[in-house]
Amino acid sequence: MKVITNSLRHFIKLETSSSIILFVVSIVAIIWANSSYGYLYEELWNHKFTIGFADTEFHLSKRLILWINDGLMAIFFFVIGLEVKREILVGELTTVRKASLPIFAAIGGMLFPVLFFLLLNDGKVGNDGWGIPMATDIAFTLGILKILGKRVPLGLKIFLTAFAIVDDIGAVLVIAVFYSANIQWDLISYAMLIYAVLAFLSYRRIYSMYLYFLVGFIIWILFLKSGIHPTIAGILMAFTIPINRKVDLSKYLKLVYLQLAVFKDKKSNSKVLMSHEQMQAIDTLESINDSVHSPLQHLEHTLHGWVSYIIMPIFALANAGVVISFSGLEGVSHVSLNIAIALVLGNAIGIMLMSYIGVKLKLADLPEGVNFKSLFGVSLLGGLGFTMSLFIANLAFSDQNLIMASKMGIIIGSLIAGILGYLILRFSLKTKS
């Protein structure tokens, strides 16, 4: 349990610190898009980049923003997949009892925002954006909890993390089922056949990072060409990464002590160079260290910093640049308002109501140190959709006016949800000395 808690603490620390960078980058994007240099912002992200040989079939040519949304975000979803697998196997989602409250909350946080949006939109243009308000941005929500300091109980942070992970699973399913079009099932069949071979290797605990990367890239290409959003390939690949170590900890300690003994027994004649036996011991230690790593935990640890500090800020810079104006949005401005309301009220009511029902029916327990007032504050924070909502907006619409209207609604709704959630938590949580 201590290992799991430490893992969660590390995850939370990464997310909260990266939220500051994400916030600054988002502000920069908005200012840039609304400045006199806004045309440079558009030109940059719409510039075409080609990988491969342009005059042959062996090339990919896409706008820079699509390389980010289809390529870099596949790595983001890969890390989400690793987190989901870890939580299901050894974390906060291992049993129905432990997972029940986050599941109840996530169902409310997905269902009610969708219902609010569809009722408010009432069949008008923009109905395809119903999935936009159902997403939660974990980096910003944990960042707000960080601002509140020690008064926030660990149980509330763990609940929010588990809830956001379940919410991400729902968002991924929605993207795969509802926001993929013109699917070429033959390419999907090839991808799943290759994936089945990889899954079998994982089951047999045969793992090579380089092999998995190469095969993962092929699967990503097939998904990209098939019509299903390629980020789904990232999630699927994560579930093939083994979680078991090749060497258990007790055996690891014995092997390490055995190699370290060489440095006691064999002394080098040189003050600078090691003996041959000591060099061999160092090589053996490196091999043992590689074996004791869980491939899943090692990849999650390695990639999480890249995702939090580089990939997500790049995504925010490319997608958050909204021109703050309703002048060019005649006929679609209602989409902004509906998304904002669905984000704030849909999430607040849905998450709180479903959590309350789960607890009162004795199907779920409140985390230690958490009451319904603080839970309502977190329910409001669930309306802080931002990065995930921006991502779905790009999938839902092809019309630029609808995309811009959606982005305005996301920013306004997320801002209101963040402020209200912070204020309620600020006055509902007791200060710790």
22, 82, 196, 197 from 242: Cα distances, Å: 31, 10, 14, 14
Burial 371-403 (b: 16+ CB within 10 A, else e): eeebbbbbbbbbbbbbbbbbbbbbbbbeeebbb
Q: Dig out the tokens for 384 from the structure.
A: 């802080």
Q: What is the pLDDT of residue 156?
A: 84
Q: Which of 248, 291, 245, 302 is nearest to 82 (CA)?
A: 302
Secondary structure class of 56 (helix, strand, coil): coil
Q: How far is Cα 49 from Cα 59, in angstroms, rounded to an integer?
A: 10
Q: What is the pLDDT of residues 55-83, one digit of tens each?
A: 666 677 888 988 888 888 889 889 888 88
Q: How far is Cα 379 from Cα 109, in angstroms, rounded to an integer?
A: 8
- Residue 84, H or E segment: helix 73-90
- Residue 114, H or E segment: helix 96-121
First-to-last alpha carbon distance for the chain, in angstroms, is 26
Q: Would you say residue 3 has pLDDT above 60?
A: no
- Residue 49, H or E segment: strand 48-52
Region 145-155: what's the mean pLDDT? Answer: 78
Residue type, 324: I
More reliable by pLDDT, 180 or 215: 215
Angle, in degrees to the nearest 10, between helices 185-203 and 209-226: 160
Q: What is the pTM of this model?
A: 0.75
Q: Dig out the tokens for 423 from the structure.
A: 């204020």
Q: How far is Cα 110 from Cα 354, in angstroms, rounded to an integer?
A: 11
Q: What is the pLDDT of residues 155-181, one digit of tens each?
A: 788 788 788 878 878 888 888 888 877
Average pLDDT, the chain: 83
Q: What is the pLDDT of residues 329-380, one digit of tens each?
A: 677 889 999 999 999 999 999 999 999 999 999 888 888 778 899 999 999 9
More reliable by pLDDT, 369 or 432: 369
Q: How far is Cα 224 from Cα 190, in angstroms, rounded to an integer?
A: 13
Q: Which of 344, 326, 323 is nearest to 335 (CA)?
A: 326
Q: What is the pLDDT of residue 375?
A: 92
Q: How far is Cα 16 from Cα 304, in angstroms, rounded to an integer?
A: 13
Do 312 and 384 form a contact (C-beta atoms < 8 A)?
no
226 CB-near residues (< 8 Å, 6+ apart):
183, 184, 185, 187, 188, 191
Q: Is 362 left (phi over 0), alpha (psi -120 to 50) or beta?
A: left
Q: Count the neighbouring beta carbons within 10 Å of the beta carbon of residue 295.
A: 22
